[in-house]
C-alpha cells in the first residue's frame, strides 16, 4: 500500500493511470485573521506543510488542499473568508468521497482549523460509509504532538506562541513579529461556548495566547513531532487495512 510520494495536481492522466493507489493525504485549512502578525492563510499553510511531510514519510499521494473553512467566530475581522457550515460540509464530503472513489485504501485528512473539525468529521464519516473506505481525521495541533506542545509552549492558542512558532518555522518571511500582541483573557471557557459575544471577549484582536513568544526552533521541534506521530498512526492503520 506504500508507494512513492506524488503531488497529484502535477501528474498527467497517463501517469495517474499507471500509479498504484494506496494512501491519499489532503490538508484542510481556513482563510482567517490570525492577529496582525500571522498570514491570513496560516491554517492552510500549516496543514499543507504537515501533509506534504507526512506524504513524503509514508509514501502517499498528496492532493490539493481545501483552503477555505468555517470561520464564523472571526468573521468580523478583515481578511476572514467564512464559508457557511452546510456548504463547507457538503463540499468537503464531495471531495473526500471522490478521492476514495479513485481507489485509495486510506485517506488521511489533516485539518488545521478548529471551526472545521466537527463538520469535517461528519463529512468524512458520511464519505467512509458511502464508499466503504477508510478516513483518518487529524486535528493536527491537538490530536498529536501533545507532549511537545505541552513542553514547549506556555501561552498556546489561536495565533499564540504555539501557532506563531509553527509559522516562523514554516514561512518566517510572511510573519510580522513587530505586529505581534499577546492576549490572555481572565476567563477561559473549559467547555464549548457558542456566542458572538464571548467571541469578542476572547478574540478582541484575533489572538489568544502569547503571540510575541513565538520561536522558530520550538516551532520546528513541535512540527517534527506532529509529522512523526501522524506518520506512525498512519503506518499502524495501514497494517490493519492490509489484513483485509
Ligand atoms: Zn490557526
| Separation CA 48–CA 65 (nearest Å) | 7
**How does pLDDT run across 68-101, given as a tens digit for each residue?**
999 999 999 999 999 999 999 999 999 999 999 9
The structure's pTM equals 0.97
What does the pLDDT read at residue 1? 59
Judge contact between 46 and 145, C-beta under 8 A.
no
Judge contact between 182 and 9, C-beta under 8 A.
no
Question: What is the 172 CA–ligand 1 centroid distance (Å)?
Answer: 15
| Separation CA 91–CA 29 (nearest Å) | 14
- Give me the numbers of helices (H) and strands (E) for the chain, helices first please: 9, 5
Give one word for 104, left, alpha or beta, with left for phi > 0 and alpha for psi -120 to 50: beta
Using alpha carbons, list the distances in angstroms from residue 202 to 61, 156, 193: 38, 13, 11
Question: What is the 44 CA–ligand 1 centroid distance (Å)?
Answer: 8
Judge contact between 121 and 37, C-beta under 8 A.
no
Question: What is the 20 CA–ligand 1 centroid distance (Å)?
Answer: 34
Question: What is the 161 CA–ligand 1 centroid distance (Å)?
Answer: 11
What does the pLDDT read at residue 3? 77
Q: For residue 236, what are the contacts with CB-CB under 8 A and spacing of at least 6?
A: none
202: exposed, middle or buried (Cβ count in 10 Å: 0-12, 13-18, 19+): buried
Short-list 190, 198, 182, 157, CA closest to 72: 198
Short-list 146, 149, 145, 140, CA closest to 120: 140
What does the pLDDT read at residue 243? 86
Question: What is the 199 CA–ligand 1 centroid distance (Å)?
Answer: 15
| Separation CA 244–CA 231 (nearest Å) | 20
Judge contact between 46 and 25, C-beta under 8 A.
no
Question: What is the 121 CA–ligand 1 centroid distance (Å)?
Answer: 18
Digit-by-digit pLDDT tens for the chain (244 residues) are 557 899 999 999 999 999 999 999 999 999 999 999 999 999 999 999 999 999 999 999 999 999 999 999 999 999 999 999 999 999 999 999 999 999 999 999 999 999 999 999 999 999 999 999 999 999 999 999 999 999 999 999 999 999 999 999 999 999 999 999 999 999 999 999 999 999 999 999 999 999 999 999 999 999 999 999 999 999 999 999 998 7
Instruction: For ligand 1, an ion, list residues with CB under 5 A.
Output: 42-43
Question: What is the 37 CA–ligand 1 centroid distance (Å)?
Answer: 12
Helix H or strand E encompassing 111: strand 106-111
- What does the block give as the cell for 169? 518555522
Q: Which residues pair with 7 in a beta bridge?
A: 62
Question: What is the 207 CA–ligand 1 centroid distance (Å)?
Answer: 10
| Separation CA 23–CA 47 (nearest Å) | 17
**How does pLDDT run across 206-242, given as a tens digit for each residue?**
999 999 999 999 999 999 999 999 999 999 999 999 9
- What does the block give as the cell for 72? 464564523
Question: What is the 14 CA–ligand 1 centroid distance (Å)?
Answer: 37
Q: For residue 164, what are the contacts with CB-CB under 8 A and spacing of at least 6?
A: 37, 38, 175, 180, 210, 211, 213, 214, 219
What does the pLDDT read at residue 173? 98
Which DSSP category does 242 fall into?
A: H
Question: What is the 43 CA–ligand 1 centroid distance (Å)?
Answer: 4
Question: What is the 205 CA–ligand 1 centroid distance (Å)?
Answer: 14
CATH class of 6-10+21-242: alpha beta
Amino acid at each position: 500500500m506504500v508507494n512513492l510520494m506524488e503531488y497529484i495536481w502535477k501528474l498527467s492522466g497517463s501517469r495517474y493511470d499507471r500509479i498504484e493507489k494506496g494512501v491519499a493525504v489532503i490538508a484542510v485549512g481556513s482563510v482567517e485573521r490570525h492577529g496582525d502578525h500571522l498570514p491570513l492563510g496560516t491554517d492552510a499553510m500549516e496543514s499543507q506543510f504537515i501533509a506534504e511531510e507526512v506524504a513524503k514519510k509514508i509514501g502517499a499521494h498528496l492532493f490539493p488542499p481545501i483552503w477555505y473553512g468555517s470561520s464564523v467566530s472571526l468573521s468580523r475581522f478583515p481578511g476572514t473568508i467564512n464559508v457557511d457550515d452546510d456548504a463547507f460540509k457538503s463540499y468537503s464530503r464531495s471531495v473526500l468521497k471522490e478521492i476514495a472513489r479513485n481507489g485509495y485504501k486510506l485517506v488521511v485528512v489533516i485539518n488545521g482549523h478548529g471551526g472545521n473539525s466537527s463538520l469535517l468529521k461528519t463529512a468524512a464519516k458520511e464519505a467512509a460509509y458511502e464508499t466503504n473506505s477508510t478516513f483518518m481525521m487529524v486535528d493536527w495541533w491537538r490530536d498529536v504532538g501533545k507532549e511537545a506542545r505541552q513542553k514547549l509552549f506556555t501561552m498556546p492558542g489561536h495565533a499564540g506562541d504555539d501557532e506563531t512558532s509553527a509559522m516562523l518555522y514554516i514561512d518566517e518571511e510572511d510573519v510580522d513579529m513587530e505586529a505581534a500582541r499577546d492576549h490572555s483573557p481572565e476567563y477561559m471557557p473549559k467547555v464549548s461556548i457558542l456566542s458572538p459575544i464571548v467571541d469578542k471577549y476572547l478574540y478582541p484582536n484575533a489572538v489568544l495566547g502569547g503571540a510575541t513568544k513565538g520561536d522558530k526552533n520550538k516551532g520546528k521541534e513541535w512540527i517534527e513531532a506532529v509529522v512523526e506521530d501522524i506518520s506512525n498512526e498512519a503506518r499502524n492503520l495501514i497494517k490493519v487495512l492490509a489484513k483485509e
